[in-house]
Structure 1
């Protein structure tokens, strides 16, 4: 096995976003780390708080946040998970953070050690969670604990990694099979020589054991390893003895390997604070880039995300972005988040922005042939998301499907649910196709004849004669909440003073005899534009229908201003407008 340790010496400082002000991370009233601006003013690790403030009065002191450090360490472990499945975030007894990876099985995949270290370094240096990147050192060894120790004692540069372990020896997988064993043994021996030079003070063990070594004159790890095993077991405790054996690979070192979380959670912490909506847009873009990259790597999608903004006053405000369909599109998420951002009150500066996503679902694979029609449902869903994000979820409704006979009850509107809308659309298309397939040629001719006869029937004449002919009519998607009574003047039905012409129908509807009986005959009516005669005069569509048997005028084909769904109530003896066709 071949281990790589990525040491993160400045992680307690780099969990905060960079600042131009002098900043120092404080633990137990002493400076732990500081940025370059503070170093230029003479601040260094180990100073107490009073001395640091005396050197730089404008110094910003930030208390160390171990929970935030461990959370960021887990995020970085998820980042390097692509390089090795055997990886884990690690914190030694001194509190130093690092990432440990077994890369022996990944060298050939990444085309050698140099290429692997280069890609890993680019991932850490160009990470959106920190614009200045994460400071890191590499350590290489054949045991887990030895790699962690070498990263702190003698870090390996990614450009010099090949020569540190001898030519063609740091990468046993790239050598020929006949020379693999010899090169592997040479690399291990070279690593043992490097470990022998490590000072005892750097060992990852209890301070008591280190003090015992120094008391008897043991300065380096090589001095300790020269002692007989029985002497080490007699002078030191069991934990130190086990550590030395695991360091040399003589004893197994079992670990709980890192497993990616089933949810997404990232945050950005700003020491200076963000004071306007425009200042919040850039960190939101950074977090969304990380989130979409996370989804693409795992072939996942989301149905909602949640933003949490924490102010200097420690008040929190959350914004939730709901999606009509699962997706992983960066631009859509950014646009919808920007709409929600307008609703965020900014009574005090924001110091922390968090992006959460709990609902992660596998991305649906679409298999389309060459001549498949494009799916434009995403555009409609995006429009619906924009409307609900801007105006609220209560403003968007859709026709429902209820078990009632009356159209105003069967299609009563319900809150917008895209999944149900698509299901209803598919069902309606399927039922329409089934009805069309069941119609025989004779029935189709009969329906066409009935339609032609009904178009020339006057409204009042139909009501008096009581004739009835069942005809399947189309129903408009737009229905009035309550049917609107229509005026009637002689034999004409009037809509806002304009005559309507019955074009198709009737279709009888009788129901609810056990409660409130309803008996209606539905028609499709048209509102015509006045037609121009040969001599320049005008004649409306109703007169056209009444005089169609007399060729007195040569008229152009009728032009309709709109089509409506009307019915005659057989009980109330009057006409009603129920819907309008698009």
Structure 2
């Protein structure tokens, strides 16, 4: 990463080849002719930091931007929710990796103290910390996120001891006076605090003392917390032309992480998302390819959304190379409150079952995962309709469709798609063996408006004690001498 033709940040591979900070472009190309050089872009750095800040809103609504590509999170009220400092620390790092960045994560009882520890950790990670578009990227959290490089501090006394050994150069207001500090042998914050405050204020200004006091908890800290937008729409410009849809999952995960933070901050759950895959511009321009995912149950968790996107992208065919991704939350609703039941449901919750069904829909297609919808009809063939499992049907609507006098009658668990005509042996219907009628008849006369049916249904038992649902078709107007015709229509479990 270059700034004004000098190296600002390097990768581990370039560092191993001898490239260091401050080196000129020519020196880098001499050591590594194959090196990829990028000019620092303040606009892209700000865009990346905003994306990270939006993703961090899933852990706390109090997130703010600080100096030197740093974020401050007040997580004092979130520790119990996420299982303590270590668990929260691991989740923050996982979110950073999903976004494609690295960072130093530190915690302290004061926000400015956490900021200093994160800055020191970023320097120790290696010449500026982050990757991608962020230089010196780090996350400091007031109240308790743990981090790398031993930067997890929970007590004020421990913070004071840790700050005493940090270099003065970490404070931006001290940069114009570093030659003077080096001349008087003042290199650490502990030595800086022991200098006379009136003389230090006259020489260096009040801003340096204010930052130092805030780090040690001697002055209040006030911040303007980030306010999430009213609607969600995030875009990612890809670094190359992608021709395979399944390679877009990393970029989609980047956008979903931001969506998760936005949903948590707004206390919303998403019901439908749309991923637009942008193609080439200019003379060969074509409209973006949309990929819409409708959820049976609203969710705000990124794991489930990423799983569904993985299944859909694996089957997506692209009309052309993709150069950018746009994610929109097409339909959202208020986050549902937790269940009020005292005991958990066996075998998982209703939400777990809906996630499994949504995953099956994404893998098999909406036309292959269906649910039964009873119809207000006495004829067995039309008494049920199969609809997509994502179609919401209320229980009251199901009960209203089913005739009351049919709901209590026995019905087979397996209804044949087309009745099978049965042979007659010894004046009994035959199916693998002679069937013995084991119930009183149930007469069905319906369909006079379309397909008239006049049938007498029975439960019959075979020699192997298997139960069948058979019917005798009544031939109206044929007389009593007509031979009845028997059919098999279903099997009981």
TM-score by length of 1: 0.49
- Match for residue 165 of structure 2? 194
- 2:27 aligned with 1:59: no
Give the alignment partner of residue 391 of structure 2, picking from 392, 410, 418: 418
Counterpart-to-counterpart distance in 2, 1:248 and 1:296: 32
- 2:57 aligned with 1:78: yes
Give the alignment partner of residue 524 of structure 1, picking from 411, 430, 452: 452
The alpha carbon displacement at 1:255 in A equals 1.8
Counterpart-to-counterpart distance in 2, 1:127 and 1:43: 30
Counterpart-to-counterpart distance in 1, 2:486 and 2:107: 86
1:550-569 deviations in Å (ceiling 9; x for gaps): 5xx6x3455499xxxxxxxx
SS across alignment from 1:71: helix
The alpha carbon displacement at 1:357 in A equals 2.8
The alpha carbon displacement at 1:122 in A equals 3.0
Give the alignment partner of residue 47 of structure 2, picking from 68, 77, 102: 68
1:239-260 deviations in Å (ceiling 9; x for gaps): 3343344344332221234677
Counterpart-to-counterpart distance in 2, 1:544 and 1:137: 84
Q: Is the 8 A contact 2:63 2:226 kept in 1?
A: yes
- Match for residue 147 of structure 1? 114
Give the alignment partner of residue 336 of structure 2, picking from 363, 371, 381: 363
Counterpart-to-counterpart distance in 1, 2:227 and 2:163: 31
Counterpart-to-counterpart distance in 2, 1:347 and 1:237: 58
- 2:63 aligned with 1:88: yes
Distance change in 2, residues 1:427/1:31 (3 Å) = farther
Counterpart-to-counterpart distance in 2, 1:245 and 1:362: 41
Counterpart-to-counterpart distance in 1, 2:340 and 2:80: 33
- 2:307 aligned with 1:307: no
Counterpart-to-counterpart distance in 2, 1:377 and 1:108: 27
The alpha carbon displacement at 1:304 in A equals 0.7
Q: Is the 8 A contact 2:58 2:260 kept in 1?
A: no
The alpha carbon displacement at 1:26 in A equals 3.6
- Match for residue 19 of structure 2? 43
Q: Is the 8 A contact 1:77 1:99 kept in 2?
A: no
SS across alignment from 2:318: coil
Counterpart-to-counterpart distance in 2, 1:524 and 1:39: 84
1:101-141 deviations in Å (ceiling 9; x for gaps): 465x7889999xxx73x43553355448449872425364x
- Match for residue 545 of structure 1? 477
Distance change in 2, residues 1:73/1:53 (3 Å) = same
1:153-174 deviations in Å (ceiling 9; x for gaps): 4779768568xxxxxxx655xx
1:275-308 deviations in Å (ceiling 9; x for gaps): 3134335665787699789989999642111213
RMSD (CA atoms): 5.8
- 2:290 aligned with 1:319: yes
Counterpart-to-counterpart distance in 2, 1:100 and 1:543: 80
Give aligned pairs, total. Answer: 388
- Match for residue 568 of structure 1? none
Counterpart-to-counterpart distance in 2, 1:69 and 1:36: 21
Distance change in 2, residues 1:506/1:265 (3 Å) = closer
Superposed, which structure 2 residues align to 1:22-421 within 5 Å?
25-63=1-39, 64=41, 65-75=44-54, 77-78=56-57, 80-81=59-60, 88-92=63-67, 95-101=68-74, 116=85, 118-127=86-95, 129-130=97-98, 134-136=102-104, 138=106, 140=108, 142-153=109-120, 186-187=157-158, 190-191=161-162, 193-194=164-165, 198-199=167-168, 201-205=169-173, 207-208=175-176, 210=177, 213-214=180-181, 217=184, 219-220=186-187, 221-222=189-190, 224-257=192-225, 271=239, 274-281=242-249, 284=252, 301-310=269-278, 317-323=288-294, 325-328=296-299, 334-335=307-308, 338-339=311-312, 342=315, 344-348=317-321, 350=322, 352-357=324-329, 359-363=332-336, 418-419=391-392
Unaligned runs of 5+ in 1: 1-24, 163-169, 173-183, 392-397, 401-414, 438-502, 508-520, 529-539, 562-582
Counterpart-to-counterpart distance in 1, 2:75 and 2:200: 29
Distance change in 2, residues 1:337/1:187 (3 Å) = closer
Superposed, which structure 2 residues align to 1:415-494 within 5 Å?
418-419=391-392, 425-429=398-402, 432-433=403-404
Counterpart-to-counterpart distance in 2, 1:251 and 1:377: 50
The alpha carbon displacement at 1:75 in A equals 4.4
Q: Is the 8 A contact 1:302 1:327 kept in 2?
A: yes
Residue range with higher mean Cα deviation, 220-229 or 125-134: 125-134
Counterpart-to-counterpart distance in 2, 1:292 and 1:331: 11
Counterpart-to-counterpart distance in 2, 1:378 and 1:242: 51
**Structure of greater Rg:** 1
Q: Is the 8 A contact 1:381 1:418 kept in 2?
A: no
- Match for residue 431 of structure 2? none
Q: Is the 8 A contact 2:58 2:264 kept in 1?
A: no
The alpha carbon displacement at 1:72 in A equals 3.6
Q: Is the 8 A contact 1:270 1:352 kept in 2?
A: yes
